[in-house]
Amino acid sequence: MNLQEYFKEEPKGSINEMAVFLGVTPTWMSLVIHGHRKPSPRLAIMIEKATQGLILRKDLRPDIFLE
């Protein structure tokens, strides 16, 4: 599962809630969701925790987190 798929299943407003939780702007969150920006390693870990492991840090940043 990727972030686009994850947010398709979540209720409206979830992107904004996630952005607030992560301490980023909704615009930045949208850029990460659509693959225009990569999350920092710290943010990738936080996304993994916020999604309860549905989105893995290694999928967000395979260049940093190896299997």
pLDDT tens track for 7-58: 998 898 899 999 999 999 999 999 999 999 999 999 999 999 999 999 999 9
How high is the pLDDT of residue 4? Answer: 93
Note whether 45 and 39 are within 8 A (CB). no
Kindly state whether residue 52 falls inside one of the protein's structural domains.
yes
C-alpha separations of 41 from 8, 17, 46, 58, 67 in Å: 24, 20, 9, 10, 15
Kindly state whether residue 38 falls inside one of the protein's structural domains.
yes
Structural domains counted in the chain: 1
Distance separating alpha carbons of residues 1 and 47, to the nearest angstrom:
13
pTM: 0.88
Kindly state whether residue 65 falls inside one of the protein's structural domains.
no
For 34, the domain range is 3-60
How high is the pLDDT of residue 16? Answer: 94
Give the tokens for residue 14.
């979830």
Kindly state whether residue 19 falls inside one of the protein's structural domains.
yes
Task: Reply yes or no on whether the pLDDT at 66 is more than 90.
Answer: no
Kindly state whether residue 30 falls inside one of the protein's structural domains.
yes
Kindly state whether residue 22 falls inside one of the protein's structural domains.
yes
